[in-house]
Chains A and B, each alone.
Chain A
C-alpha cells in the first residue's frame, strides 16, 4: 500500500518534475507577428491543440527581451519507420523550424498538420494545388503527447485499482480510503450495466473489458479538462481503437443465434429475410462506428467550445464581454465534467448492450 503510493508519486514526479528540466526552446516566431490577428492565432491554437503533438507542451510565451517565442515542454521520443527505425527526441524537431537528420534521411515536422514528413536536406515541403503536402510521410510510432497521457492513465489505473484490490483483501471485503469512492462505481457497472444487458450467466466474461474501458475513457476525458491540455478521447485513432475492440469482442464471442438473426432473420417471410440480411450486416459495422464517432465528436466539440470561449476573453478585451465569456467558459467546464462521465457511461453501456446481443439466448 505504502510502496505503491510511493511509486505513484514517482510517476507523477517523472512526468511533471521533468518538465522543469526541459530546456525552453527559443524559436523566433515570425508567422504570428506577420499575420498579427489574434483571431487567427486563437484559431490556429485551437486547431493545433485538437491534434496530437510530438512533445508534451505545457505552456509557451513570447520573451519580451528577445521577441522570441519560448516553449516550456517535455521532449518525448520520436520513433519513425522508414526502411528501418529512426529514433530521436522531439526537442530536435524544434516545432518544425529545423530539419532533423537521422541515419542519412531528413525529416521535418509540419507544425500545422502535426505530422512528420520526409524532406530533402533543406526541408522543403511540396504542396499540390489543394494545399496538400506531397512529401512521403513515414510511419510514425512516436510516443506522442497523447500516448504518454495514455501511459500515465494506464499507470494511474493500475496503481489505483490494485490498491483497491489490496484494501479489499486486507479489510476482509470492505474497501478503505479512495476505494470507498470507486467501489460503488464498480458495483454500478456490474449491477446496472453488465448484468441487465448481458445477463446473469455470461456477464462475468465481459466485466474486465467494461470496467477498464469505463475508467479509461472517464479518466482520459477528465484529464482533457485539466490545464495539461490533452485531447486523447477526442482523437479519432483512439476512439477507433476502443470501438474496434468492442467490435472484435462482440463478433468473436457471438453465438449461433446472433449470426442467425443477421443472415437469416427467423420468423419473417423469405423475401424479407433476403432484404434484411445486408441491412443487418451493415448494422454490425454501424454499431461500433457510432460508438467511435459519438465519443470523438462529443469530446472534440467540448474542447472546441471551451477553447473558443476562453479565446473570446482575449478577443473582447473588455470587462463585460470577457467576464461574460469567462462565466460561460466556467459553466461549459462544469457541463464538460458531466459529459466526461456521461460519454464514458454511454460507451460502456452500449458496448455491454452489443455484447448482450451477441450472447443472447434464442428465445423464439
Chain B
C-alpha cells in the first residue's frame, strides 16, 4: 500500500483526468451523439418499415377478400340482368303479338265496315238507277197507254191497287 502511494504521481493523475474529461465531452459532441442518433434513427426506420410492410400485407389480404366479394356481386348482378333481359324479351314478344292481333282485328273491322258501306252505297245506287229506269219505262208505257181517259183511269186504278203503303 505504501509502495502504491509513493508511486502515485499527481502530475499523471492531473493530466489523465483533464485529458479524459475533455475527451469525454469532445467525443460526446462529435462522435457518440451523432453515432447513437444515427443508429437510433436506423432502428426506428427498420421498425417502421417492418410495421408498414405488415400493414401492407394486411391491406392486401383485405383487398383480396374485397375483390372476391365484388366479383361475387358482379356475377350476381350479371345473372340478374340476364334474367331480366330474358323476361323483357318474352314480354316484348308477347306485347308485339297482342298488338299485332289487335291491329289485325282493327284492320279487319275497318275493312268490313268499308265493305258494308260500299255495299250499301252500291245498293242505293242500284236502287236509284232501277227507280229512274222504272220511271222512264213507266213514262214510255204510260205515254202509249194513256192516250185516252179511260185507259188512264184504269191504270190509276190498277196502280193504286198494287201500291202498298209502307
Contact = CB atoms under 8 A, between A and B. Distances in A.
A151 B27 contact: no
* Main SS at interface, chain A: helix
Interface in B28-43: 28, 30-36, 38-39, 41-42
Contacts of A245: 17, 20-21
Interface residues of A, number: 44
Nearest to A143: B15
Interface stretch (A206-214, A332-340, A343-351): A206-214
Given A207-B32, A245-B21, A173 B12 contact: no
Contacts of A241: 13, 16-17, 20
A173 B23 CA distance: 24
A140 interface: yes
B4 interface: yes
B38 A157 contact: no
A211 B23 CA distance: 11
A139 B28 contact: no
Nearest to B10: A139
A161 B35 contact: yes
A164 B35 contact: yes
B162 interface: no
Contacts of A174: 42
Given A51-B7, A241-B20, A242-B20, A190 B36 contact: yes
Contact of A173 (B19, B30, B31, B41): B41
A142 interface: yes
> Could you say which interface size class chain B belongs to?
20 to 34
A150 interface: yes
A237 B8 contact: yes
A235 B3 CA distance: 12
A8 to B, nearest CB: 14
B9 A237 contact: yes
Contacts of A274: none
A358 B149 CA distance: 173
Contacts of A324: none
Interface in A135-181: 139-144, 146-147, 150-151, 154, 157-158, 161-162, 164-165, 168-169, 173-174
Given A183-B39, A207-B36, A237-B13, 18 more contacts: A52-B9, A139-B10, A142-B11, A147-B11, A147-B16, A157-B27, A158-B23, A158-B30, A168-B35, A168-B39, A183-B35, A186-B36, A208-B33, A212-B32, A241-B13, A241-B17, A242-B16, A242-B20
Interface of B: 4, 7-17, 19-24, 26-28, 30-36, 38-39, 41-42, 45
28 contacts: A79-B11, A140-B10, A147-B16, A154-B22, A154-B23, A157-B23, A161-B31, A162-B31, A164-B35, A165-B31, A168-B34, A169-B38, A173-B39, A187-B39, A190-B36, A207-B32, A207-B36, A208-B24, A208-B27, A208-B28, A209-B24, A235-B12, A236-B4, A236-B8, A237-B9, A238-B12, A245-B20, A245-B21
